[in-house]
Chains A and B, each alone.
Chain A
Amino acid sequence: MPRIWKFGDSVNTDDILPGKFAPFMAGEDVFQTFAFHYIRPEFAASVQPGDVLIGGRNWGLGSSREYAPQALKTLQVGGIVAPSFARIHYRNLLNLGIPAFEFDLTGLLEDGAQVSLDVQTGVLTHAAGTVQLPPPPEFLREALAEGSILAFFKKHGRFPGEPA
């Protein structure tokens, strides 16, 4: 069963993937092994597909580096739940198709807690019950229906909301 990896407030993109381990420096095949290298050095070797990251406010502040969420995608992280996200990082999560939910679970769940997350319904099940996570903001749903803005653009040749 997937587990919770619990983080605090203000997890920045250097925490998620330090700049010196960018794919063009560390290598495209191994850069993801440096995810959370400084703040949770055991993470990359231990994380299992579907595990859920929870954090505090302003998750993902800092750099525009898409390879930070790309590392989490490569490690098959199941989703990220935090009360607020930094904007560039949030766009990057959407573009890579990593489920992101704006909700604070840090008071409810401890690190290592067993959970399952249904990313379609936003229902997170834990040992003592379930939590309904909020749906993505209305303005993103058209894009997310295709999986990502990239997927939407490829299919329709335009941006969501743009006249055909």
Chain B
Amino acid sequence: MTNPTPRPQTMAEKILSRRGTQVVYAGDLAVVEVDQVMVVDSIAQSFIQRMGQDLNATPRYPERVSIVIDHVAPASTVSVAQAQKEAREYAARTGVRLFDVGRGICHQVLMEEGLARPGWIVLGSDSHSTTYGAVAAFGSGMGATDIALAAASGKTWLKVPESVKVTFTGDLRRGVSAKDVALEMIRRLGADGATYQSIEMHAGDRFTRGERMTLANLCVEAGAKAGLVVPGGEILTAYGYDIPEWVYPDDGAAYVQSIEINLATLNPRMSAPSEVDNVFDVADLRGALRDVPVDQVFIGTCTNGRIEDLHAAADVLRGRRVAPGTRLLVIPASSQVMEDAMADGTLLTLQRAGAVLGTPGCGPCMGRHQGVLAPGEVCVSTSNRNFIGRMGDKDARIYLASPAVAAATAVMGRVALPEDVLNTPVPA
């Protein structure tokens, strides 16, 4: 580094210092280089308009811009098809990357393509861009105008966030997953508990990259600007990442809040309508909802559509059937996940159990297509938001849970725990 570091720094301060022009701390303003700008189909037309009519600019570094067609893919209406056509034409004209229909959900695709790396700054036109923190990239969501400014200039302008330190201790019990950890973290912090802040997660060697993506993904549900997981475990070895020494937080860095989550005592969690921090033990909701049929179970999204998630679901569903009256939608997060799940038989297990498989993409998460909900319907979903009207009608109810809980619920037709299913013999 060219600048001395006079005080210990958090990961967020480290990355924003490294990619800026001076050493910065929480509360400072920073103008920093952006390593990757991600644009989704939903706002592609706004982005193109900002770049053209408003800024009269082209992408400063086309290789640092990716457009992903995932939020309504394949197109459901003529207007959506037109927007996606314009996105394709823009990519061809300017040389930015395009990931077209079926390649998968933006965050999963960028991760698979190596377009988010330790120490990078990645901005996306999707709030769940915190996901890149799984590999110690400062990922943050912004709106179309900010995203266009970043593409035009190669930089962005932001306030260096304070950091919340979350330390995980102990080890998860069987049937408990990273999603349960993330929901517990959101419950503890609250939906605005980390607004404007970075959540820095100290997990040691726990969690795969996919699991770390689930943790970082949900940080925005506490209002966070970024969710950074300190590199460890398979991140150090499995993907060939060059992990710079400077990316790790310093001992003695300043945190606004520190919390500890003991994984060994954590039970499966579920977020009840209509706020993500409305989190309960699944066992309690199972009791409260014992007479409530579940109409739809959705396994997928940037939160939980990865191979680990499909494996967890298949382990519960293997040899069993989805309950009569319940629909199970499974949408892999990317074409790579789909291929892997095809190759190892997971998709066959899910299909035989009665799952409906969809094109890799966002699916019905934001209520646009591929499984929206009717008035009064109940959905258990592995996605990230249960707001009123999020997946369809305003009187539909959405419960957020892990893939294993979602799969168990699909088998029982009621909110259920994996053990409820796994303790019952597979039918002959």
Which A residues lie at the B interface, using CB under 8 A? 10, 12, 14-15, 18-20, 22-25, 27-28, 37-39, 57-58, 61-67, 70, 84, 86-88, 91-92, 95-96, 139, 148-150, 153-154, 158-163
Contacts and interface: CB of A to CB of B under 8 A. Distances in A.
23 contacts: A14-B366, A15-B388, A19-B42, A20-B367, A24-B79, A24-B82, A25-B77, A25-B368, A38-B388, A62-B127, A64-B127, A65-B43, A65-B143, A84-B192, A86-B192, A87-B225, A92-B143, A139-B29, A149-B146, A153-B55, A154-B55, A159-B31, A161-B157
Contacts of B156: 159
A85 to B, nearest CB: 8
Given A95-B143, A149-B145, A64 B126 contact: yes
A96 to B, nearest CB: 7
B219 to A, nearest CB: 12
Nearest to B29: A161
Interface string B25-59: 00001010000000001111110001000110000
Contacts of A65: 42-43, 143
Report, as a range, how many residues of chain B touch the other chain. 35 or more
Nearest to B385: A62
A153 B153 contact: yes
Contacts of A15: 387-388
A163 to B, nearest CB: 8
Interface of B: 21, 29, 31, 41-46, 50, 54-55, 72, 76-77, 79-80, 82-83, 124-127, 129, 141-146, 149, 152-153, 155-157, 159, 191-192, 195-196, 223, 225, 275, 366-368, 372, 385, 387-390, 394
A149 B390 contact: no
Nearest to A26: B79
Contacts of B225: 87
B80 A24 contact: yes
B127 A10 contact: no
Given A24-B79, A88-B127, A159-B153, A12 B387 contact: yes
A91 to B, nearest CB: 6
A27 B79 CA distance: 7
